[in-house]
Structure 1
Amino acid sequence: MLRPPRSLRYRIVLWLLAFATALTVAVIAQGTVVVEYVERAAWKSLLTAELDHFIQRSREIPGYQWDGTDGLSLYGGTDDAQLPPPLRGLGAGLHDDVLIGRTNHVVLVRDIDGIRYTLAMDIEAFESEETGYELLTVLASFALLLAIGVAAVFGVGRLLHPLSRLARDIGTMDPGDQPGRIKVEPGAGTELVVIADAFNDYLGRNARFVERERDFINTASHELRTPVAVINGAAELGLREPQVAAHQLHRIQRSAREMEQLMVLLLALAKDPARLVSSSEPLALDALLPRIVEDHQHLTAGKSLQLRLAPPARCDVQAPAAIARAAIGNLLRNAIEHSDSGCIDIELHEDATVVIRDPGHGMSPEQISAVYGLLARNDGGVGDTGEPGIGLELIARLCEHFGWRLELQSRGDRGTTAMLKFSN
């Protein structure tokens, strides 16, 4: 069974306590070594001074005797009958923590004038005090670690509070709601600001992705319904009346071609704009425009309508050919569908602007405002304004993707002028 993951607060506090413990142990160890060194130096200096004093007095005063200072015992020669057994066999130098009976002694052994002198000092009282100080140091260390632990728990908790609030705000966000922004508390660290900015950027990119997906679904369900219905109706009529099958097959072919162009537009809208721009290629609009007009001539059948293309100016742009063809074709089809008779003028200017003037019913100011609103918001609102906005909705979204500009001018009862300017 997997152990649940530890919280960041727990791990930070644990590492702080581990660091404080290691630092305390190191300080105590260093203090112990220093105290031991100083202690031995002090003992050696004291005992050496006492022994030098005795030797000097012995040389100055023949027969001088050790006066037996409290805590100090002097023995001359290795055959001294009073020399305690623990001191026999000790080499020259200082010897600490030598137990004589039940009492700790520090012993200095020196060879002077062929005689080995042994000076022992009782340090039991000092050792007791030293043990007490060591115990006090250990208790103080534990108290310090406890204080550090309490301070770490509350301090780290306070330090991580903005992070916990940030995580709580992220956790309460609903993917179905409009994307908001994550805000950090005043005085928050730069790391939290970086995290919040990065997450807000992700929210914006994700919102645009969701919007493109929603637009694709809504537009696809709406736009594909008409050509599919035409194909189904033509197929059923062709099956019932074989004598008109050829005509219906042509209708099916045209509807399939329109669906193909429509799918190009819809798939373009579903992709990231940066990827679309990177897939652009040099495109000669003056060569493309006549083919588009020719492909849409069949839509004028049954109408007293003429497509008139002015000699196009030489113009090259950077754009995906299939998408540019579909965009211009969608504008032209929209003009044909809403015109009954007259002449539709198509022009290409040197600044990469395609102009289509139709003699149709015109667009109301509300419909034109809706198209411009879509260009500003990209919220799909044009579809609610009536049929003239359906094709224009796709063009408006493509303009938002590629940085193109669509302008509409209603001429009242004399029709509408659509201008699509490509980015050179």
Structure 2
Amino acid sequence: MAASKRSLSLRITLWVVLYMLVLSVAVIALGNSINEHAERMVWKSMLHSEIDHFDRRRIDDPSYRWRDIEGASLFGWGSGRPMPPELARFKPGLHDDVRFEGRDHVLLVRMVDGQRQALMMDIGEFERDEFRLSAAMLAGVVLVLVLLGAGMGWTLRRLVRPLADMAGDIGRLRPDHAGQRVAPAANASSEMVVIANALNDYLARNERYVDREHQFIATSSHELRTPVAVIAGAAELALDGGSVPDAVRHQLERILRTARGVEQLIALLLVLARDPARLSAISETFRLDAMLPELVEDHRHLCAGKDLELAIAPSPPCTLHAPAGIVRAAIGNLLRNAIENSDRGTITLALGDRGVVSIEDPGHGMAPEEIGALYARMAREGDAGAARSGGGIGLELIARLCEHLGWGLRIEPRPPQGTRVVLELGAALAAA
């Protein structure tokens, strides 16, 4: 099974949230950079102001001494305190995030009369406030992203729901039902209305096309019935004559068989041209177990000239309500195909439970890949007759007939050679 695809609303939501996340990271990074730069400017300005004020007082009053204020300490020139070894490594200038005695400080180092002077301020509390502010900003960004994703997902699902509903309506369309249309929801967008109108226009044009095809098939089939019946009747009258040479008789029998096959084909085309719901008008109740021996006897003459036998297994009682001529044509042509594709052995016709008819032949056999190719041809429209052999109806037409009437058709290999064809007529079983 193919992996499930993400919905359009989920994809849009994920992309928007990802975009907002990238944008937030970029804004936070830029804000931190600007904050660090502004912070350094503030520290530099403040420390320079303090130390300049001290130096001016020192020049005016050489006896003036620095008095530490809260968090600020002076070392070196004019302070009366030597430079600590931990600070001696720093070059003149401003230094941020200096660890001294286990706390964070900002340090300003400069040279006065060739001597080093350092003013240091404790910024630990400021760093903690800054960390709390950054954490609050990050939590706010995460909260906004979560709320944005949830809100956008909810909004997009509401916006996409009419599209999903329309897709469901399209999926429920039945090719064998007429008058089907797709109605967009009341809150559908104008684009969806355009799509629905275009689809409904296509459905209407397709229905008109199918109706024309059905009418053409029905009309042409009816027109063909008369000349085919004339040919078959003329052949029967000629065969009834007592002075027909054997060579001519053989050809007349061939003409008669072909005419009967064309009559079956015309009947099949007429069925395919009808709505399945209207087939009940021509359906009748009959015993399938009584029909099968007649079919075997009708086709036994096709085994002439071959080392081939027809056999029928004991059949359980089975009553169908269906077009008897169509059932006869379908089973008869499957039996004809089995005879034409076999040279010697026994062809067995059997009736199982629930109206399952099976025909097993000892013929040339079909490999699984050949059966797969045959099913592919049977599934393609317009390729009827591709698997046809001799004068019988092609398997593709029989398959379309089964699909039309709700029957089933299976073709299976029969080792070591031969083929087993199963026709499932359970949908036509008469009610008890």
TM-score range, shorter chain: 0.5 to 0.7
Q: 1:175 to 1:129 in 2, by over 3 A?
A: same
Rounded Cα–Cα distance in structure 1 between residues aligned with 2:4 and 2:20: 26
The secondary structure found in structure 1 opposite 2:48 is helix
Instruction: Tell me what 1:190 maps to.
Output: 190
Q: Is the 8 A contact 1:105 1:123 kept in 2?
A: yes
Structure 1, residues 237-272: CA drift from partner, whole Å, max 9, x if none? 45556999xxxx9xx9xxx9xx9xxx9xx9xxx9xx
The secondary structure found in structure 2 opposite 1:68 is coil
Rounded Cα–Cα distance in structure 2 between residues aligned with 1:152 and 1:8: 12
Rounded Cα–Cα distance in structure 1 between residues aligned with 2:59 and 2:162: 82
Shift, 1:137, TM fit: 1.2
Rounded Cα–Cα distance in structure 1 between residues aligned with 2:140 and 2:69: 37
Rounded Cα–Cα distance in structure 2 between residues aligned with 1:190 and 1:223: 49
Q: Is the 8 A contact 1:103 1:124 kept in 2?
A: yes
Percent identical across equivalent pairs? 45
Shift, 1:45, TM fit: 1.3
Q: Is the 8 A contact 1:51 1:119 kept in 2?
A: yes
Shift, 1:66, TM fit: 1.6
Rounded Cα–Cα distance in structure 1 between residues aligned with 2:98 and 2:170: 70
The secondary structure found in structure 2 opposite 1:177 is coil
Rounded Cα–Cα distance in structure 2 between residues aligned with 1:165 and 1:243: 75
Shift, 1:212, TM fit: 2.8
Pair 1:129 & 2:125 matched: no
Rounded Cα–Cα distance in structure 2 between residues aligned with 1:219 and 1:237: 28
Instruction: Tell me what 1:51 maps to.
Output: 51
Q: Is the 8 A contact 1:93 1:110 kept in 2?
A: yes
Instruction: Tell me what 2:155 maps to.
Output: 155
1:298-317 to structure 2, matched below 5 A, reads: none
1:14-53 to structure 2, matched below 5 A, reads: 14-53=14-53
Q: Which amino acid aligns with 2:175?
A: P
Structure 1, residues 373-408: CA drift from partner, whole Å, max 9, x if none? xxxxxxxxxxxxxxxxxxxxxxxxxxxxxxxxxxxx
Please say which of residues 135-144 and 204-213 is displaced more in the overlay: 204-213
Size of the aligned set, in residue pairs, is 252
Shift, 1:79, TM fit: 12
Q: 1:198 to 1:85 in 2, by over 3 A?
A: farther
Instruction: Tell me what 1:8 maps to.
Output: 8
Q: 1:227 to 1:242 in 2, by over 3 A?
A: farther
Q: Which amino acid aligns with 1:197?
A: N
1:58-97 to structure 2, matched below 5 A, reads: 58-76=58-76, 82-97=82-97
Rounded Cα–Cα distance in structure 2 between residues aligned with 1:85 and 1:207: 96
Instruction: Tell me what 1:144 maps to.
Output: 144
Q: Which amino acid aligns with 2:116?
A: R
Q: Is the 8 A contact 2:65 2:80 kept in 1?
A: no
Q: Which amino acid aligns with 1:73?
A: S
1:391-402 to structure 2, matched below 5 A, reads: none
Q: 1:171 to 1:77 in 2, by over 3 A?
A: same
The gaps in structure 1 that reach 5 residues or longer are 271-424
Rounded Cα–Cα distance in structure 2 between residues aligned with 1:85 and 1:176: 95
Instruction: Tell me what 2:304 maps to.
Output: none
Instruction: Tell me what 2:167 maps to.
Output: 167
- Report runs of 4+ in structure 1 exceeding 3 Å deviation: 77-82, 234-244
Q: 1:181 to 1:88 in 2, by over 3 A?
A: same
The gaps in structure 2 that reach 5 residues or longer are 245-251, 274-432
The secondary structure found in structure 2 opposite 1:87 is coil
Rounded Cα–Cα distance in structure 2 between residues aligned with 1:173 and 1:226: 38
Please say which of residues 7-16 and 71-80 is displaced more in the overlay: 71-80
Rounded Cα–Cα distance in structure 2 between residues aligned with 1:112 and 1:193: 82
Rounded Cα–Cα distance in structure 2 between residues aligned with 1:71 and 1:236: 126
